[in-house]
Structures are given as C-alpha cells and as structure tokens.
Amino acid sequence: MSDDVLAIPEQGRAHEEVLADIDAARHDDADWQAGRTFSLVYYAGPEHTAFLKQAHQRLFSENGLNPLAFGSLRKFEAEVVRMTATMLNGGPEVAGTMTSGGSESIMMAMKTYRTWARAEKGEHTPNVVAPVTLHPAFDKACHYFDIELRKAPLLASGEVDVEALQALADDHTIAAVVSAPNYPNGVIDDVTAVGAWAAERGIGLHVDGCLGGFILPWVEALGHDIRPFDFRVEGVTSMSADVHKYGFAAKGASVVLYRDADLRRHQFFAATGWPGGLYVSPTAAGTRPGGSIAAAWAAMQAMGRDGYLAIAERSMQAALRMRADIEAVDGLAIVGEPKATVHAWQSTSDDLDVYAVADALEARGWHLNRQIRPSSVHAIVGPRHMELVDEWAADVKAAADEVRGRPELSGQGQAAMYGMMASVPEGSEAETELFVKQMLDGLYEV
Ligand SMILES: *Cc1c(COP(=O)(O)O)cnc(C)c1O
C-alpha cells in the first residue's frame, strides 16, 4: 500500500496522544462558548453541559433499537414523548417517537402521510403543500419518499399566504405543512386558518416546531403575543419539536408527534420474515444511541418549567434588544414580523449591502449566517446573547457606518459569493446545485 493513502494505523496509539490530536484539530472551530454565534450550538452554560454529559454517559453503550432489552430507554423515550405532547397541549391520545433530529422527525411525518394516504385512499402520486420558508428537511424527505412538494409565497409579514397555499392543493394533496416559527425569518404561520381548511378537506397538517417547539410555549406563558400553533388548533395532525435545540438536550434528540396512535402506526416498520428474527423499527434509524435519549430526558427534568421559562425570558429580552438595535441603524430593517427568538435583517437602502455589513461584523468577531430571497442575515437568539447585547448594538452600527456608500465592498469577501448566489434567478438553480455537490465531494477528502 502506498504511504500517502490514509489507513487505520498499523499499531494502536496511546489514548493521550489520540485525544491530543482531537484537541489540536478543534483549535480553529467556531467558538460557540463565546456567544458570538447564532446557530448550530444551543448553549445553556457550562454546568448544564457538564450535567448532560453525565446523563449521556450513563447510557452511552445502550441501544434504543430494542426497548425490551433496555427498559430504561423505553421509559425515558416514552416520557420525553409524553412531556413534549403535554407541553404542546396534546391530550393523552397524542402519540409519538423520539428521533435523531428534526430532519428524521420530518422524514417520518412525510413517510407517515404517504403510507397513510396509500392505505386509506389508494393515493400513489401524492403531493404536499407548504410555504417557501419551509425547512429544506421537507424537500429532502419528499425527495426520499417521492412526494411532490408545492410551495406557496408569503405575505409581507413573512407568514405564508394561506389562500395561495390552498390554491396549490388538488385531489392528490395528502397534507399541508406550516412552521412555528419558520427558520429563515422566525415568523409563525397562520396555523388556525390552515388547520380549519385541512380538517375540512380531510388531509393532514404538520406543524414544524423543530425550532419553536421548545421555546414558543414558554414565550407564550410569559405573556408575549404568540398565535395558536400546537395541538390546541383544530386540524393539526402532527408536529415536530427538537429537544436538541431550545430543549437544551445533547445532539441527536427530536420528537415527532401524531394526533393519535392510529396515524403513528403508519410510521412503524416491521420485517416479519427475516431469518434473523422479528425486526421492528419505529423510526428511520436502526441502532439508536441510548445516550441521546437519556440526555434528552435529563435535560427536561433538570430544566423544569421554571428553567425553560427563565431561558425564554432571557432569550426574548436579548432578541428584542437586538431587533431594536438593528432597526435603529439607518438602512437596516427586520424581515417580516417575527414574534419569538429568531429573526433576520436586511438592508432597505441601495447604498448599504447587507452582505458587506455581515462581513464587517465578521471582522469584529461575530459568526453570521447569510440568506437569500431576500438578501438578509439570520439569528437564532439564546439566553447567553443577553451578555453581548451592548457590544452587538455598537458593532452593528459601526459595521453599517463602515460599509455605507462603499459599493466596492460588495465584490469582496463573502459578500461577493452571496451576491452571486442571490442573483441566480428562481428556477435556474441546477448549476448551483451541481456546484455545491461537487464542493461536498471535495470537502470530504482528507
Ligand atoms: C433545525 C430545523 C429543522 C431540522 O432539524 P435538524 O435537527 O437540523 O435535522 C427543521 N425545521 C426547522 C424549522 C429547523 O429549525
């Protein structure tokens, strides 16, 4: 074998040495503990994180694939599902499972509607209607399960145009999806209007609460203006809520819920003729890590209502401050009407490139996610951001002042790349798709 092909080391290495390699590799990773990031890591402080690791470790080796072998995991999963259902105002008939994350929860919901519609209606060319702001996990799920996904435009508030959504439906529509809130602009769709319509048509309605499921109930309890979004709404037949986001669990934990166990049954898979014995699997995964299930249960127990309320209060304070400080800058504005802890901001002025402002903020140590349609910058705000609101206010103003009236900055840094992406006309994304897939090929080379 040639020396330059990476292979498993001939001789096993000392643990210390291997761990030192990991530490060295982490050196330049995004520093989420410093709080200047707005996605990917949900952080409730060092004590909570240390506690999660302990809970995770207790069931590190166990496998949730077979709940009969590990009664502990069966109990924790059932309780996580029940506590989540109760939090989202589902009655005792609401049933669900845990999954590895929002994407798997969403995949399971889409597969469930497809299987249900086949069995109940003989539907073999199904479609689903949803807003353009729908999370790409639905595009992925529909791609995997061969469901056509039809997307409706938004109102100026950033919520889906319900009439436009309804107009997309036909006899093959098996379900609608809305978000609470959506990822790109943090706005909650009109679940009540879509729910009444879906119930009348006899189709499913999934509410994507991956992002909001574990924070909207508490923001609402604090008295903020949150429209009905959960099982209280007539017509809602399923929801997804990520414990590994605002539930502050360890990664690998989400919940998918259904109106009742009859609907959930369409999610389950059983192979009965296998020489290896009876094989039953509730979700897409086979082996299911016990640690994630235990840590999700532990997070909910340790947080309690009071813990989640305190986090929601701090996160809301920070989000409202950051929104006010953005609006205070000449030429910047919040996209739509977000009501919770997620928002995006854009430029309202021709002499201010929002991507160039983002680059100037990046130079000041902030890690930001850029978006297109509209060109904007995204933030998921958490409790720790409250410590940084003053710096944010100063930096966002300084960044805008630095960039204003300097069009040459649009051609530099990330602004150049995003400007290019933003200018790709809708419907002609095939080239971009190929380009980013080729980029992925390259990313995983050693
Ligand atoms: C994060 C997210 C998802 C997908 O969840 P993953 O855990 O990343 O798979 C789906 N919908 C929304 C609104 C999200 O924010």
Question: Residue 104 CA: which ligand 1 atom is closest?
Answer: 9
pLDDT, average across residues 251-269:
98
Q: Are 372 and 415 in contact (CB under 8 A)?
A: no
Question: Please, which pLDDT band fits residue 33 given cuts at 50, 70 and 90?
Answer: confident
Confidence of residue 68 (pLDDT cuts 50, 70, 90): confident
Q: Which atom of ligand 1 is nearest to the CA of 254?
A: 7
Using the mean position of ligand 1's atoms as its centre, give its distance from the Cα of residue 439 in Å. 22
Give yes or no for residue 367 having a pLDDT over 60.
yes
What sign has the CA pseudo-torsion 382, 41, 57, 106? positive
In this prediction, residue 295 carries a pLDDT of 98
| CA nearest to 300, candidates 358, 227, 357, 248 | 248
Query: Is 1's pLDDT higher than 60?
Result: no
Per-residue pLDDT at 122 exceeds 70? yes
Atom of ligand 1 nearest to the CA of 102: 5
Residue 161, SS3 per DSSP: coil
Mean pLDDT of 185-209: 98
Q: Is residue 94 classed as helix, strand or coil in its secondary structure?
A: coil
Tell which residue, 197, 198, 224, 199, has the closest CA to residue 212.
224
The rounded Å distance from CA 210 to ligand 1 centre is 5
Q: Is the pLDDT of residue 277 over 80?
A: yes
- pLDDT, position 431: 81
The pLDDT score that the predictor gives to residue 3 is: 66
Four-residue CA torsion sign, 424, 189, 221, 306: negative
- Under the banding of pLDDT at 50, 70 and 90, the label for residue 419 is confident
Instruction: Tell me, in angstroms, the distance from the centre of ligand 1 to residue 443's CA.
Output: 22
In the reported structure, the alpha carbon of residue 109 is separated from the centroid of ligand 1 by a whole-number distance in angstroms of 13
SS3 at position 355: helix
What is the distance in A from the centroid of ligand 1 to the CA of 3?
41
pLDDT at 409 over 80: yes
Averaged confidence pLDDT in the chain: 95
Of 56-65, 200-209, 435-444, the poorest mean pLDDT is in 435-444
SS3 of residue 145 by DSSP: helix
Best of 178, 215, 242 to mutate for ligand 1, by most ligand atoms within 8 A of CB? 242
Q: Is 419 in the pocket of ligand 1 (CB under 6 A)?
A: no
Q: What is the pLDDT of residue 41?
A: 83
The rounded distance, in Å, linking the Cα atoms of 106 and 241 is 10
Please name the residue that has the structure tokens 């009444």: 196
Q: Which residue has the higher pLDDT, 215 or 39?
A: 215
Read off the pLDDT band of 2 (50, 70, 90): low
Beta strands in 222-278 (DSSP E): 238-242, 254-258, 269-271
Residue with CA at minimum distance from ligand 1 atom 3: 102
Phi, psi of 346 (to 5 degrees): -135, 175
Query: 27: exposed, middle or buried (C-beta count within 10 Å: 0-12, 13-18, 19+)?
Result: exposed
- State the pLDDT at residue 337: 97
Give the Cβ contact number of residue 47 at 10 Å: 9
Which residue's CA lies nearest to atom 5 of ligand 1? 102
Index of the ligand 1 atom closest to the CA of residue 242? 7
Nearest CA to ligand 1 atom 15: 211
Q: Using the predicted structure, report yes or no on whether residue 351 has a pLDDT greater than 70.
A: yes
Cβ 242 under 6 angstroms from ligand 1: yes
Q: Is the dihedral of CA 218, 295, 179, 33 positive or negative?
A: positive
Distance 7 CA to ligand 1 centre (A): 34
- Index of the ligand 1 atom closest to the CA of residue 209: 13
User: Which residue out of 41, 210, 292 has the highest number of ligand 1 atoms within 8 Å of its CB and is therefore the one to mutate?
Assistant: 210
Which residue CA neighbors atom 8 of ligand 1 most closely?
Answer: 102
135: Cβ below 6 Å to ligand 1?
A: yes
Q: How does residue 61 score in pLDDT terms, banded at 50, 70 and 90?
A: very high
pLDDT at 381: 96
Q: Is the CB of 134 under 6 A from ligand 1?
A: no
Atom of ligand 1 nearest to the CA of 101: 7
